């Protein structure tokens, strides 16, 4: 039925949010790429205009400095998952927020259109709680 399909869709999307859109791996990606690109711009390895080109073009320019610049090397190693990390609110390098995405699908019940949260109080609470940005406290092993 439509209610069952709406609930299934909402749960599948919630799984995508938890594991991809707002998960720890996304926070790591945002932070590591940001650190690497900020450093590369500050050192003039790339320009801000380079950010509008392809990933391959930017990385080709940045990789040239990996051997000469230990900080750039560190940022690239973090970006390429060569350095372990943990989510540690008591001891962290960076605090990162990820936007959370939650759906509250419409479905047809008899002759009316309703939202899942209108008929499922548990889902309404879930939407309220999970709509808030996720916060991570990233600590790298180096």
Q: What is the pTM assigned to this prediction?
A: 0.86
**59-113, pLDDT tens digit by residue?**
999 999 999 999 999 999 999 999 999 999 999 999 999 999 999 999 999 999 9
What pLDDT is stored for residue 8 in this prediction? 98
Dihedrals phi, psi of 121, to nearest 5 degrees: -60, -35
Residues in a beta bridge with 40: none
What pLDDT is stored for residue 1 in this prediction? 78
- DSSP-derived secondary structure for 51-112: GGS-HHHHHHHHHTTTTT-HHHHHHHHHHTT-S-EEE-TTS-SEEEEE-------EEEETTE
**Total Cβ atoms within 10 A of residue 119:** 14
**33-66, pLDDT tens digit by residue?**
999 999 999 999 999 999 999 999 999 999 999 9
């Amino acid at each position: 039925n439509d209610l069952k399909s709406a609930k299934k869709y909402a749960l599948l999307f919630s799984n995508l949010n938890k594991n991809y859109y707002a998960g720890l791996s996304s926070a790591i990606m945002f932070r590591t790429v940001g650190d690497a690109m900020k450093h590369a711009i500050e050192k003039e390895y790339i320009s801000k205009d380079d950010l509008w080109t392809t990933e391959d073009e930017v990385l080709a320019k940045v990789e040239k400095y990996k051997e000469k610049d230990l900080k750039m090397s560190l940022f690239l190693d973090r970006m390429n998952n060569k350095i372990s990390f943990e989510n540690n609110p008591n001891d962290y390098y960076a605090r990162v927020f990820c936007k959370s995405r939650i759906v509250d699908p419409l479905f047809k019940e008899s002759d009316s259109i309703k939202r899942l949260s209108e008929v499922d109080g548990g889902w309404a609470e879930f939407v309220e709680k999970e709509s808030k940005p996720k916060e991570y406290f990233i600590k790298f092993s180096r």
